Amino acid sequence: MDDAPSYTPLHDPEYGILHPFSLDRELRLAREVLEEKATANIHDSDEMIRAATGLQMRLRALLAAFDKEAGR
pLDDT of residue 46: 95
Query: Over its length of 72 residues, how does the chain's per-residue pLDDT go in tens digits?
Result: 566 678 777 777 777 667 889 999 999 999 999 999 999 999 999 999 999 999 999 999 999 999 999 988
pLDDT of residue 67: 93
pLDDT of residue 14: 72
pLDDT of residue 2: 64
Q: What is the spatial distance between Cα 58 and Cα 29, in angstroms, rounded to a whole number?
A: 7
Closest CA to 19 of 69, 58, 72, 61: 61
- What does the longest C-alpha to C-alpha distance in the chain come to? 51
Please check whether residue 33 is in contact with residue 54, taking contact to mean a CB–CB distance below 8 angstroms: yes
What pTM value is reported for the model? Answer: 0.78
Please check whether residue 20 is in contact with residue 26, taking contact to mean a CB–CB distance below 8 angstroms: yes
